[in-house]
Chain A
Amino acid sequence: MLRPRSGAERTRVIGLLDAFQAAERAGVEAVGRWIVTCDDPRLRGGLRVIRARDRRHAALAEARLRSLGGVPLAEPGRELAALCGVVADPGVSDRSKLALLLGRLPAREGTALDELAREAEGDAETHALLETITDDERASVRWLRHMHEALEREGT
């Protein structure tokens, strides 16, 4: 197994994976709570796929960081925790949640994860892992945009 070349690089990759797994886990919990109160079957169907994928992404990132000698310690930052709070809030409409989520994303899909994958380029396995996870995230964002447009059109 190719490992990051230096100890410092390995520490950096472990940090990237740790932050990523913490964010994914926070998202899984928030989306899970959204699904429970979501009345739109289309939205519920897609959110279920997104939650299931994100759960596996978190597990993959944790497994990789452990194989590099790390231990998952990261917690989601305050901003992410606040966003998750809104996503999980049954009092906020589906349309508002989608608008909030999409408004926080860069115009180009997958940019933040692309950056993460690039930063892990010295470790081929981690790089490919993040690159492939990015494909899932891109699909999720495309679908969320599609749903947001549909709800906007319907005025729901």
Chain B
Amino acid sequence: MSRSESGREWVIRFLDDLCAAETASAEVLGAWIAVCTLDGLRGGLRVIAEREATHAELLAERLREMGSTPGAALAEPVRAAALERFGSAQLSDEQKLGLLLARYPEDASAARPITDVLASLDHDLETREILRLVAEGEAATVAWLRAYHAGLARPGASRA
């Protein structure tokens, strides 16, 4: 395998895995929206779910342009557990926010797996810029959810 071939295959695998993660994320957020009791949170989740679906769509499109087909999928037990947890009406929205944010100590944490590879993509500038904006979207998602969560915790807060 030549160096360029191995580089291309690595990019394809990265895009495929990310596409699978974004697809699953959009699905889990959809399950949360269906049981979300807070109007404001539901509004934000709608945009965030669409953002994740948009990322998945763009990554799948890019994979096809590179001659590949999206084939990766999140491990079924992981997907099922996330759907059950975030689609549960028994767990409060605040608890779900806490669970999600615990995974990302900083807003940039969610974007780091993507930003870490940008410098390795100078041979594929179109993919690099797609990923740059996808990474910004991930950081914006965590920042918005963190701000909303903080608003819930504030005494006298009246976030609908």
Residues of A within 8 A of B (CB): 1-2, 41-46, 48-50, 52-53, 56-57, 59-60, 64, 123-129, 131-133, 135-136, 138-140, 142-143
Q: How far is the CB of A66 from chain B (nearest CB, A)?
A: 13
Q: Which residues of B contact A43 (CB under 8 A)?
A: 129
Given contacts A56-B54, A125-B160, 15 further A-B contacts (CB under 8 A): A1-B39, A42-B126, A43-B129, A46-B129, A48-B126, A56-B51, A56-B53, A124-B39, A124-B40, A124-B43, A129-B43, A132-B44, A136-B51, A139-B136, A143-B133
* B interface, over-half SS: helix
Q: Which one of A41, A123, A129 contacts B47 once the chains associate, using CB atoms below 8 Å?
A: A129
A52→B58 contact, CB < 8 A: yes
Pick the interface stretch among B9-17, B68-76, B94-102, B137-145: B137-145
The answer to whether B39 touches A132 (Cβ under 8 A) is no
Closest 8 CB pairs of A and B: A128-B43, A45-B129, A124-B160, A132-B47, A125-B43, A45-B126, A41-B126, A129-B43
Verify if B41 is at the interface (C-beta below 8 Å from A).
yes
Q: In the assembled complex, which residues on chain A have CB atoms less than 8 Å from the CB atom of B144?
A: 131-132, 135
B149 interfacial contact with A, CB 8 Å: no
With A and B bound together, what is the CA distance between A99 and B24 in angstroms? 38
Partner pick for B39 among A41, A60, A125, CB 8 A cutoff? A125
Contact with A along B121-153 (1 / 0, CB 8 A): 000111111101110110010011000100000
- Which residues of chain B are within 8 angstroms of A49 by Cβ–Cβ distance? 54, 58, 129-130, 133-134
For residue A41, which residues in chain B have a CB less than 8 angstroms away from its CB?
Answer: 124-126, 129
* Contact in complex: B50, A60 (CB < 8 Å): yes
